[in-house]
């Protein structure tokens, strides 16, 4: 059952993001609302996710399962809020192009591409890790969490870096 939940959520989340990627942005105006605040909120939520994941790692290394779980719940909450603001922004606005050049453009696109690829991969890994953890399937949870934690940390950190690098071009 865990696998089916992970598969369904992966298809829905990654499918929605893919559709938004290929779809033109909303052409109307959102009167009185500056859409560029949403990418900043994305970066803030990613920052919180990073802190929560490091905290969860800190506590599980000290065998404090209760605190580990609390920080994982917090990481899923901030990631969900990120997803809501990300989808909202990309539904309402055109994609922003990176305006830098030279080596900075190469660095930006390397970070962006690895971020996107690993963000796609992290969805099923995080969901499976979470479900196995809350169902106390400890050995199965450990096996997948060893991959999930570093990849999820990379995705949350690079999400902030992507924002910092592209924010001057909004």
pLDDT digits (tens, 9 = 90+) for 96-141: 889 999 999 999 999 999 999 999 999 999 999 999 999 999 999 9
Residues 6+ apart with CB under 8 A from 170: 36, 39, 96
Buried b (16+ CB within 10 A) or exposed e, 89-127: bbebbeeeeeeeeeeeeeebeebbeebeebbebbbbbbb
Residue 33 banded pLDDT, cuts 50, 70, 90? confident
Region 136-147 average pLDDT:
96
Residues near 82 by Cβ (< 8 Å), separated by ≥ 6? Answer: 42, 45, 46, 49, 159
pLDDT in tens, 51-108: 999 999 999 999 999 999 999 999 999 999 999 999 888 888 878 889 999 999 999 9
pLDDT at 32: 74
**Angle at the Cα of 79 (from 169 to 94), degrees rounded to 5?**
30
pTM listed for this prediction: 0.88
pLDDT of 19 reads 79
Cα distance between residue 33 and residue 13, in whole Å: 26
């Amino acid at each position: 059952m865990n696998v089916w939940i992970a598969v369904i959520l992966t298809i829905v989340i990654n499918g929605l993001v893919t559709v938004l990627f290929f779809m033109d942005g909303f052409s109307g105006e959102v009167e009185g609302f500056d859409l560029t605040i949403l990418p900043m909120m994305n970066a803030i939520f990613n920052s919180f996710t990073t802190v929560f994941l490091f905290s969860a790692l800190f506590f599980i290394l000290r065998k404090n399962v209760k605190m580990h779980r609390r920080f994982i719940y917090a990481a899923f909450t901030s990631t969900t809020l990120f997803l809501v603001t990300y989808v909202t922004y990309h539904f309402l606005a055109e994609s922003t192009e990176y305006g830098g050049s030279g080596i900075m453009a190469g660095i930006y696109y390397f970070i962006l591409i690895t971020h996107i690829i690993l963000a796609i991969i992290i969805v099923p890994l995080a969901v499976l890790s979470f479900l196995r953890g809350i169902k106390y399937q400890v050995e199965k949870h450990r096996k997948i969490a060893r991959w999930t934690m570093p990849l999820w940390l990379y995705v949350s950190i690079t999400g902030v870096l992507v924002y910092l690098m592209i924010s001057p071009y909004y």
